[in-house]
Amino acid sequence: MKLAVIIVAAGRGVRAGGDLPKQWQMICGRAVAAVTFDAFAGMDRVLVIHPQDEGRARQIFPDARLVFGGDSRSQSVRNALEALSGSDVTHVLIHDAARPMVSSKVIKDVITALATADGAAPALAVTDALWTGAQDLVTGTMDRTALFRAQTPQGFHFEKLFAAYRNHKGDAADDVEVARSAGIDVAIVAGEEDNFKLTYAADFARAETLMKEKSMDVRVGNGFDVHAFTAGDGVWLCGVKVDHPKALLGHSDADVGMHALTDALYGALAEGDIGTHFPPSDPKWKGAESHIFLRHAVERARQRGYRISNCDVTLICERPKIGPVADLMRETLAGIMSVEVSRISVKATTSEKLGFTGREEGIAAMATATLVSL
């Protein structure tokens, strides 16, 4: 199968409002046509444009194959098919530039269907009640049985569709109508609600929301820290001083749990670790409270455009017992990080008396932090 994609972008789209045709208006800082064009990356693409848009199109798509459209969508598709005639293309997809949210699954499903059918197109079954109306009043109902909402891309065996267009008189609602007029059977594949056509101004806000969701950046970082016991009268763990006959040894207050969590945040940002930002060689950090480090990591995440989705801290020790103070630790960390307590987990485990934690020579901690772009 030698496939080509025709992206129809020659319309004027006046219902969408704005100073430009809808395919050239912006969503998330990009022209709608550019978003749609990229959905078919790696394929042989033909972009059908209005002659008045040639300058804009060549600026955005300097290497794209451009074809001028006609006075109607049908004529625009016909022009593109003429441009492809005589090539080695065996199958063609035709897609509306004003459907920028088409997914790779819908595209793949249409192509797969073409292996056994001369035509295929995505659609959604009509599930809402259908009315007729006049002068803002309901005048009747219609049977929705066997009704579908058509979408694109619509795919076909190239030569059969080309012949259908050459013999078709007048305009058509879409390529399926032209194909069926020539006796071509068209298979239905499952469409998607997100594959909607930008028609009105409100549709652009919906598309922007979907694009932001799909482009959401999720980052995960891990942290691990160890501190040995030393003489003292309690240990700082996750911002809480816990009764214990010893203390933890460290350049700062040796809060092993908070250190691991801080490193997890830095790791998610790919910004090193605590030592990168607060070198132990610098005497100013001698005995520093660890919440200073954690607040800095949280602020760095916010400055980079991320929010904290959740954090999980595991303390590894035989003693002290963490269970009785775990909730207080969660509340303390949540306060330092300015997040809901429900997003913070603190738990403990032992090493079954194995290793340095089993011999009660110190405490280890590991943490995971998840950041999500704002």
pLDDT tens digits, 290-309? 999 999 999 999 998 899 99
Q: What is the mean pLDDT of residues 335-342?
A: 94
CATH architecture under which domain 3-214 falls: Alpha-Beta Complex (3.90)
- Per-position DSSP letters for 171-235, written without gaps between them: --SSHHHHHHHTT---EEEE--TT-PPP-SHHHHHHHHHHHHHHT--EEEEEEEEEEEEEESS-E
CA distance 101 to 36: 7
CA distance 316 to 305: 32
Given a cut of 80, is residue 231 above it in pLDDT?
yes
Residue 262 confidence (pLDDT):
98
Q: How confident is the model at residue 131 (pLDDT cuts 50, 70, 90)?
A: very high
- Per-position DSSP letters for 71-97, written without gaps between them: SSHHHHHHHHHHHHTTSS--EEEEEET
The share of the chain scoring above pLDDT 90, in percent, equals 88
Residue 18 confidence (pLDDT):
75
Given a cut of 80, is residue 16 above it in pLDDT?
no
CA distance 311 to 171: 58
Tell me how far CA of residue 305 lies from CA of 170, 300, 373, in angstroms: 52, 9, 6
Residue 215 confidence (pLDDT):
75
What's the half-sphere exposure (Cβ side, CA atoms, 13 Å) at 288? Answer: 20
Given a cut of 90, is residue 217 above it in pLDDT?
no
Given a cut of 80, is residue 38 above it in pLDDT?
yes
Given a cut of 90, is residue 170 above it in pLDDT?
no
The pair of structure tokens assigned to 367 is 């943490």
Residue ranges matching CATH 3.90.550.10 in the chain: 3-214
Given a cut of 90, is residue 280 above it in pLDDT?
no
Q: What is the mean pLDDT of residues 131-159?
A: 96
CA distance 263 to 246: 25
Residue 194 confidence (pLDDT):
96
CB contact at 8 A, 154 and 195: no
| pTM of the predicted protein model | 0.65
Residue ranges matching CATH 3.30.1330.50 in the chain: 218-373
Q: At what angle do helices 326-337 and 291-303 cross, to 10 degrees?
A: 50
CB count, 10 Å around CB of 330?
Answer: 22
Q: In a 10 Å sphere around its CB, with 0-12 CB exposed, 13-18 middle and 19+ buried, how is residue 140 labelled?
A: exposed
The pair of structure tokens assigned to 350 is 């032992």
pLDDT digits (tens, 9 = 90+) for 52-101: 999 999 999 988 999 999 999 999 999 999 999 999 999 999 999 999 99
CATH architecture under which domain 218-373 falls: 2-Layer Sandwich (3.30)
Residue 287 confidence (pLDDT):
86
